[in-house]
């Protein structure tokens, strides 16, 4: 890995998050490199840069977010530059630059879900998991609970508009939510922790 | 063909025709290849792979199939835009970045019947002679990504993908590429940039179609998930038979997703033009919620212009005379609604009843577009947050009547001044809402007396302006 962590660290400030204890810190392992090479091999020769997004997903799934070290690693794997990778990381709403909670909840509040009570759902979920909705700002859309177990984010359209209001917990979608269903859901996930 | 039973509560309405959604929410159906083959899957591919590629394109052109992603461009014609005498590789990209609010048809296809998409896609790839294809899946479908990945492996194992497909000598490799939650990646050139691993800014037109210059500078065909499934239907039925069903200019079935204030929201697959918006909302969706009446309809995803339910539209009788009608009399095909100033887009119908505040609805849409603007073009990047501010101020009751006109003028100045269609997509709702529901917006405003300070800072500043003598 090239020696330029200071510049990139200043560029990609990561906010410390209580969720970090639930995710292993980023470390380059032979296993990770092997997986990354498999992704890069999917694209035509000379187009390694296409694998930036798949590698970001690879890192984010395991480590929860994209830290400056992983940006350097991805840049090196894809024969790109750290600033280019950082440009992609900062573009997409789905890429996180600070660690989420163990259970990351995304509540849709776009028009169709809003019509079926998405905004109310959002504030109810916030109340249930003990997060102040005001902690979600434009700069930092994700808020993490103090124990690091939960994080919440209001998102735009999850493409299940007919069955709103919708929310996602990590990879799973839950449709037609109401307060009783949220109660059950939170209880179920608390037990899993 | 054996009788199909659907899960309780998911039975199709009598006026529906399930073709693409035939196996959605069907009892005993799973996304495995065994289940798909048992149901007659991949038979169309076996037939198509023996045809000449040009013959397939002809068949699709004959069918009159139009793209289902929103723009409604004829699929077969799009395929012929690959330059003649092209020596570069051709790529095909399946656009599964469904993120238009109100649209949720592709979700069910990729989650429950992925092989249907693969079969259509392989046929399309063969027709344009692409040997490398990409399914661009939105980030919010993590489970579908796993399902499609499994389906790709299964298809390869059965020699429907990979080298020498079914002994035809044709090779094809399909990969899955996941997005990361950006609406702009649904724009085809933004999507291509996303695959190339650069920021997904839409590219400058011309060329108007990536079929000329696309992914890695090579000819690229971008088709929607439903379009590719329809390609399979075209080949299964034959182009002419396909064209015989439904509206002349937009034949075949359409999947309509209804959301908002109706009794039974959800998906409905209908023959294009066979029913009207009234039939859809009152018959298929069971009408408004108890004690309510319909107020407004967004007929084709969030970016389509809103229609008032009490608006009087001019329709033409077959003899050429003009008759009065409402939105409920407009047939559900791709073009009819366009004559009345809106669009049918991707088939996402959002319904609002009389309990809804229209400025509040517009504020929600403004927030969506402000959040999703990619930031490449100044009018859109700066205009969207401005429109959001204005509509928020109107909703809070702090705006003056002039702000309503200002809101519309901001929209007018974004429209047509951007690289991609996002500029129109964000401006159309504002233009339509502020024009058609103007009185509702004005009711929330109050005239501002320029001489009266309207906030503490102004009051503070004013003391320097008043003479105390």
How would residue A192 be classed by pLDDT, with cut points 50, 70 and 90? confident
Most A-contacting residue of B218, B220, B297, B364 (CB-CB within 10 A), to test interface: B364
pLDDT exceeds 90 at position B281: yes
Per-residue model confidence (pLDDT) at position B448: 75
Q: What percent of chain A has pLDDT over 70?
A: 93
How would residue B140 be classed by pLDDT, with cut points 50, 70 and 90? very high
| Cα angle, residue A104 at apex, residues B179 and A42 outer, rounded to 5° | 25
Chain A nearest CA to B19, separation (Å): 20
Can you tell me the ipTM of this complex? 0.93
Which region holds residue A137: left if phi is over 0, alpha if psi is between -120 and 50, else beta?
beta
Least confident of A114-123, A177-186, B312-321: B312-321
Per-residue model confidence (pLDDT) at position B320: 84
Question: What number of CA atoms fall less than 13 Å from residue B395's CA on the CB side?
Answer: 17
Which region holds residue B173: left if phi is over 0, alpha if psi is between -120 and 50, else beta?
beta
Judged by CB atoms closer than 8 Å, whether chains meet at B257 and A94 is answered as no
Is beta strand B313-316 parallel, antiparallel or unpaired with respect to B322-325? antiparallel
Can you tell me the distance from the alpha carbon of B428 to that of B342, in angstroms, rounded to the nearest whole number?
Answer: 9
Q: Give Rg (Cα) of chain A.
A: 18
Most B-contacting residue of A45, A119, A156 (CB-CB within 10 A), to test interface: A156
User: At which residue do the structure tokens 């048992």 appear?
Assistant: B38
Per-residue model confidence (pLDDT) at position B464: 73
Residues 6 or more apart whose CB falls under 8 angstroms from that of B182 comprise A91, A92, A93, A94, B190, B194, B200, B372, B374
At how many degrees (to 10) do helices A52-63 and A68-77 cross? 140
pLDDT exceeds 60 at position B1: no
CB B429 within 8 A of CB B387: no
Is beta strand A150-155 parallel, antiparallel or unpaired with respect to A142-144? antiparallel
Judged by CB atoms closer than 8 Å, whether chains meet at B101 and A94 is answered as no
Question: What number of CA atoms fall less than 13 Å from residue A143's CA on the CB side?
Answer: 20
Among residues B152, B90, B82, the alpha carbon closest in space to that of B117 is found at B152
Can you tell me the distance from the alpha carbon of A132 to that of B326, in angstroms, rounded to the nearest whole number?
Answer: 46
Judged by CB atoms closer than 8 Å, whether chains meet at B177 and A54 is answered as yes
> Which residues in chain B touch residue A168, judged by CB atoms under 8 angstroms apart?
140
Judged by CB atoms closer than 8 Å, whether chains meet at A171 and B195 is answered as no
| Cα angle, residue B136 at apex, residues B134 and B140 outer, rounded to 5° | 155
Among residues B437, B430, B391, B386, the alpha carbon closest in space to that of B408 is found at B430
Chain B nearest CA to A131, separation (Å): 22
The mean pLDDT value of chain A amounts to: 91
Q: Of B288 and A3, which is predicted with more confidence?
A: B288
Chain B CA closest to residue A74: B197
Per-residue model confidence (pLDDT) at position B265: 95
Class of the CATH domain delimited by A103-192: alpha beta
Can you tell me the distance from the alpha carbon of A106 to that of A158, in angstroms, rounded to the nearest whole number?
Answer: 9
Q: What are phi and psi of B91, to 5 degrees?
A: -115, 150
Can you tell me the distance from the alpha carbon of A36 to that of A51, in angstroms, rounded to the nearest whole number?
Answer: 8
Any chain A CB within 8 A of the CB of B148? no
Per-residue model confidence (pLDDT) at position B316: 84
Chain B CA closest to residue A45: B216
B209 token code pair: 């179609």
B118 token code pair: 């693969």
Least CB-CB distance to B140: which of A44, A84, A159? A159
Per-residue model confidence (pLDDT) at position A13: 67
- 264-303 in chain B: CB under 8 A from chain A: 265-267, 298, 302
Least CB-CB distance to A156: which of B199, B257, B371? B371
Most B-contacting residue of A94, A112, A114 (CB-CB within 10 A), to test interface: A112
Which region holds residue B178: left if phi is over 0, alpha if psi is between -120 and 50, else beta?
beta
> Which residues in chain A touch residue B200, judged by CB atoms under 8 angstroms apart?
91
Judged by CB atoms closer than 8 Å, whether chains meet at B197 and A87 is answered as no
pLDDT exceeds 70 at position A9: no
Judged by CB atoms closer than 8 Å, whether chains meet at B180 and A172 is answered as no
Residues 6 or more apart whose CB falls under 8 angstroms from that of B163 comprise B171
Q: Of A51 and B317, which is predicted with more confidence?
A: A51
User: At which residue do the structure tokens 């909302």 appear?
Assistant: B281
Per-residue model confidence (pLDDT) at position A2: 53
Chain A nearest CA to B213, separation (Å): 16
Chain B nearest CA to A108, separation (Å): 10
Class of the CATH domain delimited by B358-444: mainly alpha
The mean pLDDT value of chain B amounts to: 93
Q: Give Rg (Cα) of chain B.
A: 25
Per-residue model confidence (pLDDT) at position B213: 94
SS3 B123: helix
Architecture of domain B253-353: Roll (3.10)
How would residue A6 be classed by pLDDT, with cut points 50, 70 and 90? low
Any chain A CB within 8 A of the CB of B138? yes
**Domain A5-91: which topology?**
Arc Repressor Mutant, subunit A (1.10.10)
Judged by CB atoms closer than 8 Å, whether chains meet at B143 and A49 is answered as no
Residues A114-124: tens digit of each pLDDT: 999 999 999 99
pLDDT exceeds 60 at position A165: yes
pLDDT exceeds 70 at position A11: no
Chain A nearest CA to B8, separation (Å): 16
Per-residue model confidence (pLDDT) at position A140: 87
Among residues B212, B219, B209, the alpha carbon closest in space to that of B67 is found at B209
Any chain A CB within 8 A of the CB of B261? yes
Cα B375 to chain centroid, rounded? 21
B49 token code pair: 């792979």
Kindly state the average pLDDT of the residues B228-243.
Answer: 96
Q: Per CB distance under 8 Å, which residues of A are interface residues toward B?
A: 42-44, 47, 49-54, 56-57, 78, 80, 84, 87-88, 91-95, 109-112, 114-116, 155-164, 168, 171-173
Any chain A CB within 8 A of the CB of B102? yes
Per-residue model confidence (pLDDT) at position B98: 87
Chain A nearest CA to B451, separation (Å): 34
CATH 3.40.50.11540 is right for the domain spanning B33-244: yes
* Alpha-carbon distances of B54 from B76, B174, B385, rounded to whole Å: 10, 21, 48
> Which residues in chain B touch residue A53, judged by CB atoms under 8 angstroms apart?
177-180, 194, 197
Can you tell me the distance from the alpha carbon of B425 to that of B431, in angstroms, rounded to the nearest whole number?
Answer: 11
How would residue B456 be classed by pLDDT, with cut points 50, 70 and 90? confident
pLDDT exceeds 80 at position B146: yes
Which region holds residue B347: left if phi is over 0, alpha if psi is between -120 and 50, else beta?
left
The residue ranges of every structural domain in chain A are: 5-91, 103-192
Residues B183-213: tens digit of each pLDDT: 999 999 999 999 999 999 999 999 989 999 9
> Which residues in chain A touch residue B25, judged by CB atoms under 8 angstroms apart?
none
Per-residue model confidence (pLDDT) at position B468: 58
Residues A19-35: tens digit of each pLDDT: 999 999 999 999 999 99
The residue ranges of every structural domain in chain B are: 33-244, 253-353, 358-444
3-state secondary structure string, chain A? CCCCHHHHHHHCCCCCCHHHHHCCCCCCCHHHHHHHHHHHHCCCCCCHHHHHHHHHHHHHHHHCCCCHHHHHHHHHHCCCCHHHHHHHHHHCCCCCCCCCCCEEEEEECCHHHHHCCHHHHHHHHHHHHCCCHHHCCCCCCEEECCCCCEEEEEECCCCCHHHCCCEEECCEEECCCCHHHHHHHHHHHHHHC
B116 token code pair: 């249907």
Kindly state the average pLDDT of the residues A159-186.
Answer: 95
| Cα angle, residue B24 at apex, residues A61 and B140 outer, rounded to 5° | 20
How would residue B135 be classed by pLDDT, with cut points 50, 70 and 90? very high
Task: Give the DSSP letter string of B225-258.
Answer: HHHHHHHHHHHHH-HHHHHHSB-SSSBSEEEEEE
Judged by CB atoms closer than 8 Å, whether chains meet at B196 and A54 is answered as no
pLDDT exceeds 90 at position B410: yes
At how many degrees (to 10) do helices A52-63 and A30-41 cross? 150
> Which residues in chain A touch residue B369, judged by CB atoms under 8 angstroms apart?
none
Residues B11-53: tens digit of each pLDDT: 999 999 999 999 999 999 999 999 999 999 999 999 999 999 9
pLDDT exceeds 90 at position A154: yes
CB A97 within 8 A of CB A86: no
Beta bridge mates, B162 = B172
Chain A nearest CA to B465, separation (Å): 37
Least confident of A175-184, B76-85, B339-348, B448-457: B448-457
Can you tell me the distance from the alpha carbon of B361 to that of B254, in angstroms, rounded to the nearest whole number?
Answer: 26
Per-residue model confidence (pLDDT) at position A28: 95
């Amino acid at each position: 890995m090239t020696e330029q962590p200071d510049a990139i660290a200043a560029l990609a400030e990561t906010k410390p998050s209580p969720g970090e204890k639930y995710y292993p810190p980023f470390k380059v392992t032979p296993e990770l490199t092997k997986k990354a090479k498999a992704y890069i091999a999917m694209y035509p020769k000379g187009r390694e840069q296409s694998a930036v997004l798949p590698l970001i997903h690879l890192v984010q799934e395991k480590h929860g977010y994209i830290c400056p070290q992983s940006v350097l690693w991805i840049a090196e794997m894809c024969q790109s530059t750290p600033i280019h990778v950082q440009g992609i990381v900062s573009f997409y709403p789905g890429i996180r630059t600070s660690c989420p909670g163990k259970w990351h909840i995304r509540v849709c509040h776009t028009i169709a879900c809003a019509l079926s009570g998405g905004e109310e759902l959002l504030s109810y979920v916030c109340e249930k998991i003990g997060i102040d909705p005001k902690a979600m700002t434009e700069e930092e859309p994700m808020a993490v609970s103090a124990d690091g177990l939960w994080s919440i984010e209001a998102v735009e359209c999850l493409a299940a508009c007919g069955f709103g209001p919708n929310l996602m917990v990590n990879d799973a979608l839950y449709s037609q939510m109401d307060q009783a269903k949220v109660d059950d859901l939170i209880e179920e996930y608390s037990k899993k922790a | 063909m054996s009788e199909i039973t659907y899960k309780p509560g998911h039975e199709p309405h009598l006026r529906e025709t399930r073709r693409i959604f035939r196996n959605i929410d069907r009892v005993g159906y799973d996304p495995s290849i065994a289940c798909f083959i048992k149901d007659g899957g991949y038979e169309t591919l076996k037939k198509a792979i023996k045809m000449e590629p040009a013959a397939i394109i002809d068949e699709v052109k004959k069918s009159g199939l139009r793209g289902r992603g929103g723009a409604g461009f004829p699929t077969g014609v799009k395929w012929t835009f690959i330059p003649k005498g092209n020596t570069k590789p051709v790529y095909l990209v399946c656009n599964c970045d469904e993120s238009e609010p109100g649209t949720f048809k592709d979700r069910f296809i990729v989650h429950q019947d992925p092989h249907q998409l693969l079969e259509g896609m392989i046929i399309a790839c063969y027709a344009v002679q692409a040997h490398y294809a990409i399914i661009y899946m939105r980030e919010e479908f993590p489970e579908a990504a796993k399902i499609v990945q499994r389906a790709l492996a299964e298809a390869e194992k059965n020699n429907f993908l990979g080298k020498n497909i079914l002994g035809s000598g044709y090779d094809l490799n399909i990969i899955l590429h996941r997005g990361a939650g950006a609406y702009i990646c649904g724009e085809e050139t933004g999507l291509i940039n996303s695959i190339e691993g650069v920021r997904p800014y839409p590219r400058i037109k011309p060329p108007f179609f990536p079929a000329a210059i696309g992914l890695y500078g090579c000819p690229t065909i971008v088709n929607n998930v439903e379009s590719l499934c329809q390609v399979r239907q075209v080949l299964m039925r034959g182009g002419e038979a396909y064209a015989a069903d439904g509206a002349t200019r937009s034949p075949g079935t359409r999947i309509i997703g209804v959301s908002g204030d109706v009794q039974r929201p959800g998906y409905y697959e209908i023959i294009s033009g066979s029913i009207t918006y009234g039939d859809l909302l009152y018959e298929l969706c069971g009408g408004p919620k108890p004690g309510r009446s319909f107020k407004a309809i967004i007929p084709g995803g969030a970016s389509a212009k809103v229609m008032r339910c009490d608006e009087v539209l001019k329709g033409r009788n077959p003899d050429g005379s003009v008759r009065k009608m409402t939105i409920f009399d407009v047939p559900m095909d791709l073009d009819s609604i366009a004559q009345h100033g809106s669009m049918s887009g991707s088939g996402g119908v959002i319904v609002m009843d009389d309990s809804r505040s229209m400025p509040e609805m517009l504020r929600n849409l403004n927030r969506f577009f402000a959040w999703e603007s990619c930031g490449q073009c100044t009018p859109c990047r700066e205009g969207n947050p401005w429109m959001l501010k204005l509509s928020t101020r109107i909703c809070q009751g702090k705006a003056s009547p002039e702000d309503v006109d200002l809101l519309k003028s901001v929209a007018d100045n974004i429209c047509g001044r951007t690289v991609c269609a996002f500029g129109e997509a964000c401006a159309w709702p504002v233009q339509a809402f502020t024009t058609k529901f103007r009185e509702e917006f004005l009711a929330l405003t109050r005239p501002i007396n320029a001489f009266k300070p309207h906030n503490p800072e102004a009051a503070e500043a004013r003391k320097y302006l008043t003479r105390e003598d």
